[in-house]
Amino acid sequence: MATLRRAGAPRRVRADIYRQLRERIVSVELEPGTALSEARIAEGFGVSRTPVREAFQRLAEDGFLDVVPQVGTFVARIDLQAVRDNHFIRETLECRIVELGAARVDTAARRALRENLVEQADALDAGDAAAFFRADEALHLLLARTAGHESAWSVIHQAKSQLDRVRRLALADPGRSRRRLREHRAIVARVCAGDPAGAARAMREHLASLFEAIENIAADNAHYFV
């Protein structure tokens, strides 16, 4: 873990600690149920315990940590109801996004979307699950940008944090990732064709497929879930 500089605003230090711990939790590098020590985390970052404690509080408010008085702090298990809520928000917004994107797509957007699909395929061929996840995220940002509502992706990104933990688990199965790529290609094809209804249908099918995978992953990894 990289050591943070002591210089700079305390707010920036807290934000960096929060961001890095959040990423490690969402990526499942820190598995659900893992015990965390304020002192050990502070030592790893090269800071006092105060900003770590404040980051822990924020992560607990976000549902990523469970603080048990007199016992300790643990990475929270994944709440399936929160995942279902995340999925509902994402489906509602993203189906509308691709409808608008298909109505507004231009030559530059078509090129960017198709280039992203190449990046996804390259990541899968290289066996780089993290790169595939980043390209997947970038595709959805591009779709929001094409629709003229880039800021909507920030709302979706924040709302789907618990869902993303399950998506990271799904990357362990290359077959699931190949299926995601086929679904992404179908969405991009409809957007680039200027077909709003077809784009929304392809997105809905993609998200339904993802949710089916989530239910299977939860069944296979019950110890990670509430």
Q: What is the DSSP string of 13-44?
A: HHHHHHHHHHHHHHTTSS-TT-EE-HHHHHHH
Please state the rounded mean pLDDT for residues 70-77: 94
Distances (CA, A) of 218 to 79, 94, 114, 225: 10, 24, 32, 7
The radius of gyration of the chain's CA atoms, rounded to the nearest angstrom, is: 19
Asked whether the beta carbons of 210 and 166 are under 8 A apart, the reply is: no
Location of structure tokens 């990289």: 2
| Confidence at residue 147, expressed as pLDDT on a 0 to 100 scale | 97
Rounded CA gap, 212 and 109, in Å? 30
Q: Is the pLDDT of residue 96 over 50?
A: yes
pTM of the model: 0.81
- Specify the CATH class of 80-224 in words: mainly alpha
Q: Does domain 10-75 have CATH number 1.10.10.10?
A: yes
Q: Is the pLDDT of residue 152 over 70?
A: yes
Residue 6: pLDDT band (50, 70, 90) is: very low
Q: Is the pLDDT of residue 3 over 70?
A: no
| Confidence at residue 173, expressed as pLDDT on a 0 to 100 scale | 79
Rounded CA gap, 146 and 187, in Å? 13
Residue boundaries of the structural domains of the chain: 10-75, 80-224
Instruction: Give the mean pLDDT of the chain.
Output: 90
Strand order in the sheet with 72-75: 35-36, 72-75, 65-68
**Comparison of pLDDT for 214 and 203, the residue scoring more:** 203
| Confidence at residue 210, expressed as pLDDT on a 0 to 100 scale | 82
Rounded CA gap, 144 and 76, in Å? 30
Residue 213: pLDDT band (50, 70, 90) is: confident
Residue 2: pLDDT band (50, 70, 90) is: very low
Rounded CA gap, 39 and 78, in Å? 25
Q: What is the pLDDT of residues 99-109, one digit of tens each?
A: 999 999 999 99
| Confidence at residue 185, expressed as pLDDT on a 0 to 100 scale | 98
7: left (phi over 0), alpha (psi -120 to 50) or beta: beta
Please state the rounded mean pLDDT for residues 180-200: 98
